[in-house]
Chain A
């Protein structure tokens, strides 16, 4: 079946770097996206990888390797406000427009 696997929780300290992995068992998608969701809030878009390699957006970077069936989100210079859930997602499965999300990774940033 089609699925995206993420660790359920990650803990890191303020100022550090953390990597959130997303491995997938699906094919035929057009790119990997990342979304952030704070408690009680709506998901917001962070980053998108259409091609293999690294995409950098400020403190956040995202990476995709189709040959290894995985991607990751890298958060640098962690801040307390980065404590949130992070979801990877793919769209365009099987040539259509279906979207699937991973179950999410809860990031705890400690002082």
Chain B
């Protein structure tokens, strides 16, 4: 089954304790991206990757890191989480690069609800 898999689904942590949220897709998609969703703000892009070893900032990259060492994986790293990073996080992927990427639908994972105390 074609899917984007995020882990964990729920995570409660304390300020400053490094964490990683994993994201994996089995559709051979080139484009992968991370979003956070907060009430009233919709989905805001954190980082995106157009292919292996190619990443770029979205609208809200501060406090986050990503890496794309393999095509299928795109982990989100919070080196020193803070309470303002409490949110619902989604990973998404889509097919294609260049012009083909723009109209390819994003396939989302089921989300990770992160609470930082």
Contacts and interface: CB of A to CB of B under 8 A. Distances in A.
A98 B103 contact: no
Contacts of A101: 35, 42-45
Given A50-B102, A50-B103, A98-B48, A103 B42 contact: yes
B59 A100 contact: yes
A73 B31 CA distance: 25
A63 interface: no
**Interface of A, helix, strand, loop or mixed by DSSP:** loop
B116 to A, nearest CB: 21
Interface of A: 8, 30-31, 33, 35, 41-45, 48, 50, 87, 89, 91-92, 96-104
B102 to A, nearest CB: 4
Given A33-B105, A48-B103, A97-B50, 13 more contacts: A30-B103, A31-B103, A43-B43, A43-B92, A48-B105, A87-B42, A98-B45, A98-B48, A98-B59, A100-B45, A101-B35, A101-B45, A103-B41
Contacts of A45: 105-107
Contacts of A103: 40-42
Nearest to A6: B42
Tell me which of A30, A44, A87, A98 has the highest count of chain B C-beta atoms within 10 A of its own C-beta. Answer: A98
